Every structure is written in C-alpha cells, then in structure tokens.
A and B are shown apart, each in its own frame.
Chain A
Amino acid sequence: MTDVVEAVRTPPAVMGLYDGPMWASIREGTMRLQRCLNCGEMQYPPGPVCPHCLSSNLEWQPISGRGTIVSWVVYHRTYLAAYPEPYNVVAVKLAEGPFMASNLEGETPAQSWIGAPVRMVYSTMLDGTVLPRFTLAATSAGKTP
C-alpha cells in the first residue's frame, strides 16, 4: 500500500513561511488568502507584505472560490506519476483578483475555455493531499456538471 501511495505521490507544494496557513485552510475545505487591511488587495501566492502598498497588516480571509479561465493547456505526455496524460492545467483569474494555476475537473468546454466561469472544488488525491481545483460554474454550462 505504501508503494502504491508513493507511486502516485502528489508533487510537493512549495512550503515557504507564508504558505502553511493557506494549505491548512485548503485541507479544511475553505481556501484562505491574505487580504491587505491597508489597501484591500489580496495576494497569491502568500507573502510577507502586501506587494501593492508594502503594508504588513495582512489578514487571512476565505476566498469566494469564483473565477474565470484565462488560459489552459492539455498535457499529452506523462511527466509525473500522479498526472498520467492526458490532463489539463488551467490559469484562473480569481474573483478577488489574483491569478492561480490549477486543474479543471469534470466537464470541459466544447470550444475555447477562455472566459469560462468556474468555481473552486476540493479534490483529495490518492495520497491524501487536498488540492483546490475548479469545475465549470453551473450557470455558464446551463446544467450541473
């Protein structure tokens, strides 16, 4: 069993000083990012100060999970055991402002994915890692994915 889990180990997240609280919030199923209490901007990835105004007055707040696809790719080669081809990667502009790379689960748009509204879901990988991912927002597809 250990070998099976090892074979599908999710590629590890970068764990800098400010990444820990974000990943803890993801495991709890409500992703949080730092909002600057001085200028109101949110940042991703997390960091020591607000890059917009340099304030250190940051507060972890839940994000809405809403966003829009900005770009996407489909891998046709397998580089990582946890990601056999084909699989996709999407770049999403979060409703709160920052961009975030992730994956689109379930139904995919028939034509261009760009501009498609998405909402965040929490996927548990085979090794137990919880990842924030996206599905098409029900409103855009007109049906439940």
Chain B
Amino acid sequence: MSSSANPFVNAGRPASSRLSRAAAIVGVGHSDWVGDWKRTRAGEKPSDGYGYGAIAFREALADSGLKRDDIDGLIAGPATAYERLSEVLGIDPRWGDQADAVLSVIKAITAVESGLAETIALVYGNDQRSAKIQYGGPQAMGGDAFLSYVYHAPWGLTSQGALYALTFQAWKHARGFEGDDLGYVAVAQRAWSSMNPNAIQRKRITLDDYRNAPYICEPLRLFDYCQINDGGVALIVTTAERAARLGKPPVYIQGFGRRDLNQGATSLEPRLTDYYRPAQEDCARQAYEMAGFGPADMDMLQVYDSFSVHVPLALEGYGYCKIGEVRRFFREQGIGPGGKLPINTSGGHLSETYMQGWAHQIECVRQLRGECGERQVPNCRHAHYTSDVCGNAVSIVYSR
C-alpha cells in the first residue's frame, strides 16, 4: 500500500476479529434476470419489487436446504419496505432492518454474532426498469439521501453517469490515463458475461466496439454504463455453527471494512480531489486486517460497477496496483478470463444486470463454491467484494 499514515483523525480500531468467520452465507437465489429483461423491454410488467424479492427468496431457501420457519431475521433491500416485505414473505422476524447490498451483510453478521437473530434472509427486489425509475433529473432517485444528486440540477448536472464522468475526467488527467483504455473494463466484463447464462448482455465486444460507441456523458461512452433491469436477489446468512450442518459448503465472511468521505460531498470535492482513495485505503486496511491477508491473496475481485470507472479506482484504492499503473495492469496482468485478477466474473452491472451490488455477492458465493461452470475461477478460495458509492467505501472478504 502506498500510504503509511492513516489520514483520518478518527482512525478507530478494526472491528473485532471475533467476527471473522463467525457467520456464513448458506443460500443464494435470484429471479430470472434474462426473462425479466426481455419482458420489461417488451413493455410488460412481470412483477413488482416484492414479487422479485419473493422469487429470489424462494430460490435461496431451496439452495440452502433451510425451511422458511428457520428464518428469524430479515433485511429488506432499499427498494422495498421492511414490514411489507416480511408480510409478503410470511415471516415474523425476531430482528429486521433495511439496508443496501453490502451493509446488509455486515448488519447480518453483527445481528448473528450478538444473538439478535440466528438465520437472516437478505432480500432485494426492484422494479426499477418497468417502473421507469429516474437516476437523473431533478427528481433523481436517492436525492433525499444524497444532496449532490439533485443540488446541481439548475446547471443540468443531474445524472449519476455525469458525476462519475467528472471523477474519471479528473482522475485520468492526474494519472495520464488514455480515456479509451477504460474500454478494457467493458471488454473484459463482456468476455465474462459471454459465459454466464444469467447475464442479459452476452455478446463479446472489442476495444474498437468500445471506441466506436457514442459518448453518453463524455468522457464516458455507452459501454461504460450499467444495465438497468427489474429483478430480485436473496442471500441467507447464519452462524458458522449452523452453516456447517447444512448441505452446501459454507462461504464465510472473513473480513470487512468501511470508511465514508462525507465532508464536501455535495460540492463533489472528495470525488474530484482524491477520487475516494483515502476512504478505499482505510476500508481496505480494516478488511485485510480482519481477514488476515491482503490483495495478493485474493483470487477474484468484485467491484460495484454502476459505471466502469469504479474498476480502475478500486484497483488503486484497494492496493491491487500502484498509483498510476492501472493502464499497465489492464494490459499486462489482465482482468478478464485468463487474466491475473478476475474482476466482475459474472459480467457485473455492465453486462449481467444492475442489481445494485446484490448480484455481485451471490457471484462471490458461487465462485467460492465452485458452481460457475465455464467462467469458474480455478481453485477460488478468497473473493473480495467492494463498493464505493458516493464516497462510502465498503468491503467484504468472502472465504471458503
């Protein structure tokens, strides 16, 4: 890692190492994303967020071998209300909450470890495509939580893509990065998704295809953007003890970390000066310390990729390559099939489906179980999932 001193005044201490491998994921499931995509594109409305969540939950239960009566905790994803989701799923939880993809896993670990609940379903359902949810414009989704989403609307700056385009422009200028080299991300992820039957975009693309695609918000092009879709994802988390008694190999939560950069967030300062790197480095420090190993030991990396830009920033921020060496890393190490560091092996948000980070987690689980068929990462032991949305850097290390 490049930085030695922690730049944060409130550095704190890492989460208790007692939590490492205290809980495991024992079941995963999802809705028929390819079918959801086709039907919503045809103008149909296959279900709503609760319905997609219910389908995914049913799949996850079957995958785990547990019965619904075993579930005593429930975390609802951000697009559904906790009470109504419980009602739809027919559960009276002992403990419950609402959270995004990565924080839901961390909340589940703490609930399991403290005894608030023993077996927790994490259920995400979203009808964002058929409901025509706007991630830009003056009414942008999330504007009540993130003021930057709506504050700059009078100047026409309203879309998430534009915010990451601003970050990428400043970053590539600072690093001397050629803009079109960002295309390595989209090309690699499409190569992965070509081997994923659950992906909605499976046609391989080349760097030329990338370069020839139109700009949406320059410097970002069409293939830098994610695939907004309807769908659901579910995971079941339980104690390590209980996990060991179930049919599938448990996937343990080995470590996690978090750091948020909120100072100056509305004015966009933290995304334009250090590109969230201080948050990523501190998050990485915590996660690696708790896991007991670092980036060199990871067999794969899953990066929250609403835009391809997240990938180069994560490579620097989480210590996978030195500052300024992303281009070389893309070209010489490789992030696609056969590359040294497999990244977003399902195709990610860019090619599989945009499930707001939830699908990335079940891909970690399936790779660690060895269930990924053609796209399986050989002997996958450790998978690192990370997201840095709006300066909230959160990581989970999953291990067999």
Chain A: residues with CB nearer than 8 A to chain B? 10-14, 44-45, 51, 70-77, 79-80, 82-83, 87, 89, 91, 98-103, 112, 114, 129, 131, 133
CB-CB under 8 A for A79 and B155, given A70-B272, A91-B268: no
Q: How long is the Cα–Cα vector from A83 to B137 in the complex, in angstroms?
A: 11
Does the CB pair A11–B158 fall under 8 Å? yes
Does the CB pair A99–B268 fall under 8 Å? yes
Residues of B within 8 A of A114 (CB): 169-170, 173
- Would you call B43 an interface residue if the criterion is a C-beta within 8 Å of the partner chain's C-beta atoms? no
How near does chain B come to A73, taking the closest CB pair, in angstroms?
A: 4
Residues of A within 8 A of B263 (CB): 51
Chain B: residues with CB nearer than 8 A to chain A? 136-138, 147, 150-159, 162, 165-167, 169-170, 173, 214-220, 263-264, 266-269, 272-273
Does the CB pair A71–B166 fall under 8 Å? yes
**A-B contact sample (8 more), CB < 8 A, given A14-B153, A71-B169, A99-B267:** A70-B272, A71-B173, A75-B162, A75-B217, A75-B218, A82-B156, A91-B268, A103-B155
Nearest to A115 among chain B residues (CB) is B173
Does the CB pair B157–A89 fall under 8 Å? yes
A71's partner among B152, B170, B214 (CB-CB below 8 A) is B170
Does the CB pair B214–A11 fall under 8 Å? no
Q: Which 10 A-B pairs have the closest CB atoms?
A: A83-B156, A11-B153, A71-B170, A99-B267, A101-B152, A74-B218, A73-B165, A76-B215, A89-B157, A11-B138
B154's partner among A13, A79, A91 (CB-CB below 8 A) is A13
Nearest to B138 among chain A residues (CB) is A11
Q: How long is the Cα–Cα vector from A90 to B250 in the complex, in angstroms?
A: 49
Does the CB pair B216–A77 fall under 8 Å? yes
Q: How long is the Cα–Cα vector from A75 to B220 in the complex, in angstroms?
A: 9
Residues of B within 8 A of A98 (CB): 264, 267, 269
Nearest to B174 among chain A residues (CB) is A114
CB-CB under 8 A for A12 and B267, given A72-B169, A73-B165, A76-B218: no
Residues of B within 8 A of A129 (CB): 154
Does the CB pair B154–A131 fall under 8 Å? yes
CB-CB under 8 A for A91 and B272, given A11-B137, A73-B166, A76-B214: yes
CB-CB under 8 A for A87 and B173, given A44-B267, A73-B217, A77-B216: no
Does the CB pair B268–A103 fall under 8 Å? no
Does the CB pair A71–B156 fall under 8 Å? no
Residues of B within 8 A of A101 (CB): 152, 155, 157, 267-268
CB-CB under 8 A for A80 and B158, given A45-B147, A51-B263: yes
Q: How long is the Cα–Cα vector from A70 to B165 in the complex, in angstroms?
A: 13
Tell which of A73, A75, A80 has the most Cβ of chain B within 10 Å.
A73
Q: How long is the Cα–Cα vector from A10 to B153 in the complex, in angstroms?
A: 8
Residues of B within 8 A of A100 (CB): 267
Q: How long is the Cα–Cα vector from A124 to B155 in the complex, in angstroms?
A: 12
Does the CB pair A99–B154 fall under 8 Å? no
How near does chain B come to A104, taking the closest CB pair, in angstroms?
A: 10
Does the CB pair B156–A11 fall under 8 Å? yes
A–B complex contacts, Cβ < 8 Å, 17 sampled: A11-B153, A14-B153, A44-B267, A51-B263, A71-B169, A72-B166, A73-B162, A73-B169, A73-B218, A74-B217, A79-B156, A80-B137, A91-B268, A99-B264, A100-B267, A131-B154, A131-B155
How near does chain A come to B220, taking the closest CB pair, in angstroms?
A: 8
Nearest to B153 among chain A residues (CB) is A11
Q: How long is the Cα–Cα vector from A89 to B169 in the complex, in angstroms?
A: 12
A76's partner among B153, B216, B264 (CB-CB below 8 A) is B216
Q: How long is the Cα–Cα vector from A77 to B217 in the complex, in angstroms?
A: 7
Q: How long is the Cα–Cα vector from A112 to B136 in the complex, in angstroms?
A: 26
B272's partner among A89, A99, A102, A133 (CB-CB below 8 A) is A99
B138's partner among A12, A44, A99 (CB-CB below 8 A) is A12
Does the CB pair B138–A79 fall under 8 Å? no
How near does chain A come to B255, taking the closest CB pair, in angstroms?
A: 32
B152's partner among A51, A77, A89 (CB-CB below 8 A) is A89
Q: How long is the Cα–Cα vector from A29 to B272 in the complex, in angstroms?
A: 28
Does the CB pair A76–B217 fall under 8 Å? yes
Does the CB pair A73–B219 fall under 8 Å? yes
Q: How long is the Cα–Cα vector from A11 to B267 in the complex, in angstroms?
A: 18
Residues of A within 8 A of B266 (CB): 45
Does the CB pair B137–A45 fall under 8 Å? no
Nearest to B169 among chain A residues (CB) is A71
How near does chain B come to A106, taking the closest CB pair, in angstroms?
A: 16
Q: How long is the Cα–Cα vector from A104 to B94 in the complex, in angstroms?
A: 55
Nearest to A51 among chain B residues (CB) is B263
Does the CB pair A12–B154 fall under 8 Å? yes
How near does chain A come to B312, taking the closest CB pair, in angstroms?
A: 16
Does the CB pair B218–A10 fall under 8 Å? no
Does the CB pair B169–A14 fall under 8 Å? no
How near does chain B come to A87, taking the closest CB pair, in angstroms?
A: 6
Residues of A within 8 A of B154 (CB): 10-13, 129, 131
Residues of B within 8 A of A131 (CB): 154-155
Residues of B within 8 A of A51 (CB): 263
How near does chain A come to B139, taking the closest CB pair, in angstroms?
A: 10
